[in-house]
Amino acid sequence: MHWKKTITMVEAHAEGEVGRIVTSVANDIPGKTMLEKMNYINQVDDSLRRFLVFEPRGYAQMSTNLIFEPIHKEADIGFLILQGDKAHAMSGSNSICLVTVLLETGRIKMIEPKTVVTLDTPAGLVRAVASCKNGKCERVTLDMTPSYADQLDTIIEVEGLGEVIVDIAFGGIFYALIDPSQFNLKILPENARKLVDIGTKVHRAINNQVDIKHPQIKGLKGISYTMFVGHDSDGVMKGATILPPGRIDRSPCGTGNSARLAVMEAKGQAEVGQSFIARSIIDSEFKVEILEKKTIAGKSGITPRVSGRGWIHGVHQIGVDPSDPYPLGYKVADCWGDAFDLLS
Protein backbone atom coordinates (compact mmCIF):
# COMPACT_ATOMS: atom_id res chain seq x y z
CA MET A 1 0.00 0.00 0.00
CA HIS A 2 1.10 3.56 -0.69
CA TRP A 3 -1.11 5.44 1.74
CA LYS A 4 -0.23 9.06 2.43
CA LYS A 5 -2.61 9.23 5.41
CA THR A 6 -3.63 6.53 7.88
CA ILE A 7 -6.25 6.80 10.61
CA THR A 8 -7.27 4.09 13.08
CA MET A 9 -10.69 4.05 14.73
CA VAL A 10 -12.37 1.93 17.37
CA GLU A 11 -15.96 1.25 16.42
CA ALA A 12 -18.70 1.12 19.04
CA HIS A 13 -22.44 1.51 19.24
CA ALA A 14 -24.68 2.91 21.96
CA GLU A 15 -28.00 1.08 21.99
CA GLY A 16 -27.69 0.56 18.24
CA GLU A 17 -26.25 3.90 17.11
CA VAL A 18 -22.69 3.63 15.71
CA GLY A 19 -20.05 6.05 16.95
CA ARG A 20 -16.50 5.53 15.68
CA ILE A 21 -13.68 6.97 17.79
CA VAL A 22 -10.50 8.17 16.07
CA THR A 23 -7.68 6.93 18.31
CA SER A 24 -5.18 9.72 17.58
CA VAL A 25 -5.52 13.17 19.12
CA ALA A 26 -6.49 15.87 16.61
CA ASN A 27 -3.77 18.47 17.19
CA ASP A 28 -4.01 20.44 13.95
CA ILE A 29 -7.52 21.95 14.23
CA PRO A 30 -7.28 25.62 15.31
CA GLY A 31 -9.34 27.01 18.15
CA LYS A 32 -8.98 28.10 21.76
CA THR A 33 -12.17 26.27 22.76
CA MET A 34 -14.00 23.17 21.54
CA LEU A 35 -16.65 25.50 20.10
CA GLU A 36 -14.02 27.37 18.07
CA LYS A 37 -12.63 24.06 16.80
CA MET A 38 -16.12 22.94 15.75
CA ASN A 39 -16.75 26.25 13.99
CA TYR A 40 -13.40 25.97 12.21
CA ILE A 41 -14.43 22.62 10.75
CA ASN A 42 -17.89 23.90 9.81
CA GLN A 43 -16.88 27.30 8.47
CA VAL A 44 -13.27 27.08 7.28
CA ASP A 45 -11.99 23.59 6.48
CA ASP A 46 -14.08 20.43 6.63
CA SER A 47 -11.74 18.21 4.60
CA LEU A 48 -11.06 15.90 7.56
CA ARG A 49 -14.79 15.46 8.19
CA ARG A 50 -15.39 14.57 4.55
CA PHE A 51 -12.47 12.15 4.52
CA LEU A 52 -13.79 10.32 7.59
CA VAL A 53 -17.54 10.45 6.98
CA PHE A 54 -18.21 10.20 3.26
CA GLU A 55 -17.97 7.03 1.19
CA PRO A 56 -15.89 4.95 0.57
CA ARG A 57 -14.32 5.34 4.06
CA GLY A 58 -17.55 6.13 5.87
CA TYR A 59 -21.26 5.65 5.47
CA ALA A 60 -24.47 7.49 6.29
CA GLN A 61 -25.52 5.38 9.29
CA MET A 62 -22.77 6.38 11.70
CA SER A 63 -20.87 9.21 13.36
CA THR A 64 -17.11 9.64 13.65
CA ASN A 65 -15.67 11.28 16.76
CA LEU A 66 -12.46 13.27 17.06
CA ILE A 67 -10.68 13.42 20.42
CA PHE A 68 -8.59 16.31 21.75
CA GLU A 69 -6.49 17.17 24.73
CA PRO A 70 -8.98 18.92 27.03
CA ILE A 71 -9.04 22.70 26.91
CA HIS A 72 -11.29 23.25 29.92
CA LYS A 73 -9.29 22.70 33.11
CA GLU A 74 -11.99 20.49 34.65
CA ALA A 75 -12.22 18.11 31.66
CA ASP A 76 -10.47 14.80 31.03
CA ILE A 77 -10.84 14.83 27.24
CA GLY A 78 -12.35 16.95 24.48
CA PHE A 79 -14.34 15.64 21.53
CA LEU A 80 -16.27 16.60 18.43
CA ILE A 81 -18.95 14.64 16.57
CA LEU A 82 -18.59 14.49 12.78
CA GLN A 83 -21.64 13.60 10.70
CA GLY A 84 -22.85 13.84 7.12
CA ASP A 85 -23.81 17.50 7.29
CA LYS A 86 -21.26 19.03 9.66
CA ALA A 87 -19.56 18.79 13.05
CA HIS A 88 -22.02 18.86 15.94
CA ALA A 89 -21.70 20.21 19.47
CA MET A 90 -22.99 17.30 21.50
CA SER A 91 -24.44 13.78 21.27
CA GLY A 92 -25.51 11.47 24.06
CA SER A 93 -25.03 8.23 22.13
CA ASN A 94 -21.58 9.31 20.89
CA SER A 95 -20.61 10.31 24.44
CA ILE A 96 -21.54 6.80 25.60
CA CYS A 97 -19.50 5.26 22.76
CA LEU A 98 -16.56 7.54 23.58
CA VAL A 99 -16.47 6.76 27.30
CA THR A 100 -16.87 3.03 26.65
CA VAL A 101 -13.94 3.05 24.20
CA LEU A 102 -11.70 5.22 26.38
CA LEU A 103 -12.11 2.94 29.38
CA GLU A 104 -12.12 -0.47 27.71
CA THR A 105 -9.03 0.31 25.61
CA GLY A 106 -7.17 1.75 28.60
CA ARG A 107 -6.93 5.27 27.17
CA ILE A 108 -8.34 6.45 30.49
CA LYS A 109 -7.80 4.26 33.56
CA MET A 110 -10.88 2.27 34.53
CA ILE A 111 -11.75 2.39 38.22
CA GLU A 112 -14.31 -0.12 39.44
CA PRO A 113 -17.13 0.13 40.29
CA LYS A 114 -17.40 3.77 39.07
CA THR A 115 -15.19 5.87 36.80
CA VAL A 116 -15.90 9.57 36.28
CA VAL A 117 -14.91 11.08 32.92
CA THR A 118 -15.57 14.77 32.24
CA LEU A 119 -16.04 15.63 28.56
CA ASP A 120 -15.15 19.00 27.05
CA THR A 121 -17.73 19.68 24.30
CA PRO A 122 -18.72 22.79 22.31
CA ALA A 123 -22.00 22.81 24.27
CA GLY A 124 -20.22 22.74 27.63
CA LEU A 125 -18.92 20.20 30.13
CA VAL A 126 -20.61 16.81 30.35
CA ARG A 127 -19.99 14.61 33.40
CA ALA A 128 -20.01 10.90 32.57
CA VAL A 129 -20.14 8.25 35.27
CA ALA A 130 -19.29 4.77 33.99
CA SER A 131 -20.45 1.71 35.89
CA CYS A 132 -17.63 -0.82 35.49
CA LYS A 133 -17.16 -4.47 36.38
CA ASN A 134 -14.50 -7.03 35.45
CA GLY A 135 -12.91 -4.67 32.93
CA LYS A 136 -16.21 -3.95 31.20
CA CYS A 137 -17.90 -0.56 30.99
CA GLU A 138 -21.45 -1.75 31.63
CA ARG A 139 -23.34 1.55 31.58
CA VAL A 140 -22.61 5.25 31.13
CA THR A 141 -24.65 7.95 32.85
CA LEU A 142 -24.35 11.48 31.46
CA ASP A 143 -25.15 14.71 33.27
CA MET A 144 -25.97 16.68 30.15
CA THR A 145 -25.53 20.38 29.40
CA PRO A 146 -28.38 22.71 30.50
CA SER A 147 -31.44 22.32 28.25
CA TYR A 148 -34.41 24.58 27.69
CA ALA A 149 -37.62 24.97 25.70
CA ASP A 150 -37.14 27.75 23.16
CA GLN A 151 -40.55 27.86 21.45
CA LEU A 152 -43.65 25.82 22.28
CA ASP A 153 -46.44 24.82 19.90
CA THR A 154 -44.98 26.80 17.02
CA ILE A 155 -46.74 26.57 13.66
CA ILE A 156 -44.45 26.09 10.67
CA GLU A 157 -45.61 26.23 7.05
CA VAL A 158 -44.01 23.27 5.28
CA GLU A 159 -44.10 22.76 1.53
CA GLY A 160 -46.22 19.75 0.67
CA LEU A 161 -47.41 19.32 4.25
CA GLY A 162 -49.12 22.58 5.16
CA GLU A 163 -49.08 23.73 8.78
CA VAL A 164 -47.03 21.60 11.16
CA ILE A 165 -46.93 22.14 14.94
CA VAL A 166 -43.51 21.77 16.56
CA ASP A 167 -41.77 22.46 19.85
CA ILE A 168 -38.28 23.92 19.49
CA ALA A 169 -35.84 23.14 22.28
CA PHE A 170 -32.13 22.96 23.09
CA GLY A 171 -30.68 19.73 24.47
CA GLY A 172 -27.00 20.29 23.65
CA ILE A 173 -28.05 21.10 20.07
CA PHE A 174 -31.36 22.48 18.78
CA TYR A 175 -34.30 20.20 17.99
CA ALA A 176 -37.75 20.52 16.52
CA LEU A 177 -40.01 18.01 18.26
CA ILE A 178 -42.92 16.70 16.19
CA ASP A 179 -45.96 14.64 17.15
CA PRO A 180 -46.28 12.07 14.32
CA SER A 181 -50.04 11.76 14.89
CA GLN A 182 -50.32 14.97 12.83
CA PHE A 183 -49.56 12.71 9.87
CA ASN A 184 -51.43 9.64 11.11
CA LEU A 185 -48.12 7.89 11.66
CA LYS A 186 -46.60 5.87 14.49
CA ILE A 187 -42.90 5.50 15.25
CA LEU A 188 -42.33 2.08 13.72
CA PRO A 189 -39.52 0.67 11.55
CA GLU A 190 -41.90 0.22 8.62
CA ASN A 191 -42.67 3.96 8.71
CA ALA A 192 -39.02 5.02 8.77
CA ARG A 193 -38.88 6.32 5.20
CA LYS A 194 -42.04 8.40 5.65
CA LEU A 195 -40.78 9.83 8.93
CA VAL A 196 -37.44 10.74 7.35
CA ASP A 197 -39.12 12.50 4.43
CA ILE A 198 -41.41 14.52 6.69
CA GLY A 199 -38.71 15.30 9.24
CA THR A 200 -36.34 16.52 6.53
CA LYS A 201 -38.98 18.85 5.06
CA VAL A 202 -39.77 20.28 8.49
CA HIS A 203 -36.05 20.71 9.24
CA ARG A 204 -35.52 22.64 6.04
CA ALA A 205 -38.61 24.81 6.58
CA ILE A 206 -37.72 25.79 10.16
CA ASN A 207 -34.19 26.85 9.33
CA ASN A 208 -35.57 28.94 6.45
CA GLN A 209 -38.28 30.61 8.54
CA VAL A 210 -37.10 30.85 12.14
CA ASP A 211 -33.98 32.48 13.61
CA ILE A 212 -32.84 30.18 16.42
CA LYS A 213 -29.76 31.04 18.48
CA HIS A 214 -28.42 29.96 21.84
CA PRO A 215 -28.57 32.96 24.20
CA GLN A 216 -25.13 32.28 25.70
CA ILE A 217 -23.06 30.13 23.35
CA LYS A 218 -22.17 32.09 20.22
CA GLY A 219 -22.17 29.91 17.13
CA LEU A 220 -24.82 27.42 18.31
CA LYS A 221 -27.76 28.22 16.09
CA GLY A 222 -30.36 26.61 13.86
CA ILE A 223 -32.09 23.26 14.08
CA SER A 224 -29.64 20.36 13.96
CA TYR A 225 -32.29 17.61 13.91
CA THR A 226 -35.98 16.98 14.04
CA MET A 227 -37.36 14.35 16.42
CA PHE A 228 -40.71 12.59 16.34
CA VAL A 229 -42.06 12.06 19.84
CA GLY A 230 -44.82 9.72 21.00
CA HIS A 231 -45.47 6.79 23.30
CA ASP A 232 -45.62 3.02 22.94
CA SER A 233 -48.72 1.09 23.97
CA ASP A 234 -47.17 0.49 27.41
CA GLY A 235 -46.80 4.23 27.96
CA VAL A 236 -43.02 4.32 27.46
CA MET A 237 -41.65 7.39 25.67
CA LYS A 238 -40.95 6.63 22.02
CA GLY A 239 -38.80 8.76 19.76
CA ALA A 240 -37.17 8.89 16.34
CA THR A 241 -34.52 11.51 15.61
CA ILE A 242 -34.09 12.40 11.93
CA LEU A 243 -30.50 13.24 11.02
CA PRO A 244 -29.29 14.79 7.76
CA PRO A 245 -28.93 13.61 5.09
CA GLY A 246 -32.02 11.53 5.87
CA ARG A 247 -31.77 8.70 8.36
CA ILE A 248 -33.10 7.75 11.79
CA ASP A 249 -30.98 7.58 14.92
CA ARG A 250 -30.92 3.94 16.01
CA SER A 251 -30.52 4.93 19.67
CA PRO A 252 -33.19 6.67 21.75
CA CYS A 253 -31.07 9.86 21.37
CA GLY A 254 -29.51 11.62 24.34
CA THR A 255 -29.62 15.24 23.19
CA GLY A 256 -33.08 14.73 21.69
CA ASN A 257 -34.50 13.41 24.94
CA SER A 258 -32.77 16.22 26.84
CA ALA A 259 -34.67 18.67 24.63
CA ARG A 260 -37.84 16.62 25.09
CA LEU A 261 -37.53 16.66 28.89
CA ALA A 262 -37.08 20.44 28.79
CA VAL A 263 -40.31 20.77 26.81
CA MET A 264 -42.15 18.35 29.10
CA GLU A 265 -41.03 20.33 32.17
CA ALA A 266 -42.09 23.60 30.54
CA LYS A 267 -45.54 22.14 29.79
CA GLY A 268 -45.98 20.69 33.28
CA GLN A 269 -45.66 17.10 32.03
CA ALA A 270 -42.49 16.30 34.04
CA GLU A 271 -40.76 17.61 37.13
CA VAL A 272 -37.43 17.55 38.90
CA GLY A 273 -36.54 14.06 40.14
CA GLN A 274 -38.83 12.30 37.71
CA SER A 275 -37.32 9.60 35.48
CA PHE A 276 -38.56 7.93 32.30
CA ILE A 277 -37.61 5.20 29.86
CA ALA A 278 -36.94 6.52 26.36
CA ARG A 279 -37.25 3.95 23.58
CA SER A 280 -35.90 4.11 20.02
CA ILE A 281 -37.40 2.95 16.75
CA ILE A 282 -35.52 -0.37 17.19
CA ASP A 283 -36.75 -0.63 20.82
CA SER A 284 -33.40 0.06 22.46
CA GLU A 285 -33.68 2.11 25.65
CA PHE A 286 -32.11 4.95 27.61
CA LYS A 287 -33.09 5.98 31.10
CA VAL A 288 -33.67 9.76 31.21
CA GLU A 289 -34.47 12.07 34.10
CA ILE A 290 -34.56 15.69 35.23
CA LEU A 291 -31.84 16.45 37.77
CA GLU A 292 -32.58 20.08 38.55
CA LYS A 293 -34.06 23.34 37.35
CA LYS A 294 -31.67 25.65 35.57
CA THR A 295 -31.77 29.23 34.25
CA ILE A 296 -30.13 29.89 30.88
CA ALA A 297 -29.80 33.63 30.17
CA GLY A 298 -33.12 34.27 31.87
CA LYS A 299 -34.83 31.30 30.26
CA SER A 300 -36.21 28.54 32.48
CA GLY A 301 -34.55 25.21 31.79
CA ILE A 302 -33.30 21.97 33.30
CA THR A 303 -30.25 19.77 33.70
CA PRO A 304 -31.08 16.36 32.17
CA ARG A 305 -29.45 13.01 32.90
CA VAL A 306 -29.18 10.25 30.29
CA SER A 307 -28.08 6.67 30.91
CA GLY A 308 -27.36 3.93 28.38
CA ARG A 309 -25.01 1.15 27.31
CA GLY A 310 -22.23 0.96 24.73
CA TRP A 311 -20.39 -1.90 23.06
CA ILE A 312 -17.14 -2.02 21.09
CA HIS A 313 -17.66 -4.04 17.91
CA GLY A 314 -14.61 -3.46 15.80
CA VAL A 315 -11.34 -1.72 14.96
CA HIS A 316 -11.13 0.07 11.64
CA GLN A 317 -8.12 1.53 9.79
CA ILE A 318 -8.53 3.75 6.75
CA GLY A 319 -6.16 5.54 4.42
CA VAL A 320 -5.84 7.21 1.06
CA ASP A 321 -3.58 6.27 -1.82
CA PRO A 322 -2.05 9.30 -3.60
CA SER A 323 -3.65 8.14 -6.85
CA ASP A 324 -7.15 7.72 -5.37
CA PRO A 325 -9.54 10.02 -7.30
CA TYR A 326 -11.79 10.39 -4.24
CA PRO A 327 -9.52 11.55 -1.39
CA LEU A 328 -12.41 13.35 0.32
CA GLY A 329 -15.05 10.78 -0.57
CA TYR A 330 -18.44 11.15 -2.21
CA LYS A 331 -22.15 10.86 -1.48
CA VAL A 332 -24.98 9.46 -3.61
CA ALA A 333 -28.66 9.95 -2.88
CA ASP A 334 -29.55 6.24 -2.86
CA CYS A 335 -27.89 6.02 0.57
CA TRP A 336 -27.48 9.65 1.60
CA GLY A 337 -31.04 10.83 0.94
CA ASP A 338 -32.28 13.80 -1.01
CA ALA A 339 -31.43 16.47 1.58
CA PHE A 340 -28.29 17.62 -0.17
CA ASP A 341 -29.02 21.23 0.78
CA LEU A 342 -28.55 20.11 4.41
CA LEU A 343 -25.12 18.69 3.59
CA SER A 344 -21.93 20.66 3.22
Q: Which residues participate in catalysis according to the annotation? A: 91, 253
CA distance 124 to 55: 31
CA distance 104 to 136: 6
Query: Which of 299, 254, 342, 271 shows the shortest CA–CA distance to 17?
Result: 254
- Please compute, for residue 73, the number of CA atoms within 13 A of its CA located in the half-sphere on the CB side: 0
DSSP string, 30-81: --SSHHHHHHHHHHT--HHHHHHHSBTT--SS-EEEEEE---STT-SEEEEE
CA distance 70 to 77: 4
| Sequence letter at residue 270 | A
Query: Which of 305, 217, 293 shows the shortest CA–CA distance to 255?
Result: 305
- Residues 122, 109: contact at Cβ < 8 Å? no
CA distances, 161 to each of 188, 197, 199 (Å): 20, 11, 11
Query: Which of 131, 137, 127, 141 shows the shortest CA–CA distance to 254?
Result: 141
What is the greatest pairwise CA distance in the chain?
61
Quickly list H helices, 180-286. 192-209, 254-266
For residue 120, give the 3-state DSSP assignment: strand
CA distance 32 to 43: 15
Query: Which of 292, 317, 288, 315 shows the shortest CA–CA distance to 302?
Result: 292
* C-alpha 80: how far from chain center: 10
